[in-house]
Amino acid sequence: MSDYRFTELGKETRYSDHYDPSLLCPIARVKTRQSDDAKSLPFIGVDLWTAYELSWLNLDGLPQVAIVEFMVPCDSQSIVESKSFKLYLNSFIQTQFASIDAIQAQLVNDLSAATGAIVEVVVYEIAEYLGIQPIAEPQGICIDRQSLVIDRYHPDASLLDSDKSFEVEETLYSHLLKTNCPVTDQPDWASIYLFYKGPKIDREGLLKYIVSYRQHQDFHEQCVEQIFLDIMTACSPQALSVYARYMRRGGLDINPFRSTHLSRPPLFRQVRQ
């Protein structure tokens, strides 16, 4: 496993309530990928971050609040370590900005510089956010209620299988994905959604595989990429999208989406979010 002790997670927390972009801690994606060539990636997609706790002061000193969505391209040079992201957002608390447009421009500039790619940022007023990401489930099949004996809690791609003689197009999902922070070992909870076309994936094996991440330590983005790659290798779908909706921590959630053919995830959020 990679060593992430150099990140904010491995240091004494430095809080600031005045704007400080130096708090952002980029981590090169190449640290957790087998290839550093973005052109050779077997998927497209984004990491959709949602910040529910952004606040700043207007020019009269009156606090403002908003919800922000960030779209980080999966071919960016770096991700941003989540604790540093939270500290960075908190640094806006006592800083004056003239408008939401000014806040948005600053966020785009700072996050794009940190990740090495253009990050899309949308700042929503609270009332405006209603209906943007509705709480819903896609039309599909939840695979959680199976009678299974589970004995593996570290990722095991050998659990995956498919029926090559029978092709389908379906959505499968599970609320049982749990991974762990690679430094603190804190639990990270998620629901995971698979949209695929091709040989019918064995649902028993898929659920066992998802549960096998229960004691695995890695960042959200890398877990989803590994799940995508393992399913592609073991099940040979013609089309595949993997989308994890992780529960928020510190007012921030991370939702990686990887696909053979879609650049953006569907618009919904899971009921636990």
Q: What is the pTM of this model?
A: 0.94
Fold of 141-259: GTP Cyclohydrolase I, domain 2 (3.30.1130)
Q: How far is CA 205 from CA 147, 191, 197, in A?
A: 12, 17, 17
Tell me which residue has tokens 């609270």: 126
Tell me which residue has tokens 């039309």: 139
Note the CATH number of domain 8-129: 3.30.1130.10
Q: What is the pLDDT along the chain (273 residues), one digit of tens a residue?
A: 555 555 555 566 778 889 999 999 999 998 777 555 556 899 999 999 999 999 999 999 999 999 999 999 999 999 999 999 999 999 999 999 999 999 999 999 999 999 999 999 999 999 999 889 899 998 999 999 999 999 999 999 999 999 999 999 999 999 999 999 998 889 999 999 999 999 999 999 999 999 999 999 999 999 999 999 999 999 999 999 999 999 999 999 999 999 999 999 999 999 999
Q: How far is CA 38 from CA 229, 249, 262, in A?
A: 15, 29, 17
User: Which member of 181, 218, 235, 253 is catalytic?
Assistant: 181
Q: Is 74 a catalytic residue?
A: no
Q: Would the CATH topology of 8-129 be identical to that of 141-259? A: yes
Q: Is 188 a catalytic residue?
A: yes
Give residue 171's Cα distance to chain centre. Answer: 19
Q: What is the spatial distance between Cα 266 and Cα 133, in angstroms, rounded to a whole number?
A: 9
Give me the residue spans of the domains in the chain.
8-129, 141-259
Dihedral Cα 80, 83, 84, 89, nearest 10 deg: 100
User: Which member of 110, 188, 218, 230 is catalytic?
Assistant: 188
Kindly report the three-state secondary structure assignment for every residue of 144-157: CCCCCCCCCCCCCH
Q: Is 38 exposed, middle or buried (0-12, 13-18, 19+ CB in 10 A)?
A: middle
Residue 22: φ, ψ to 5°: -70, -10
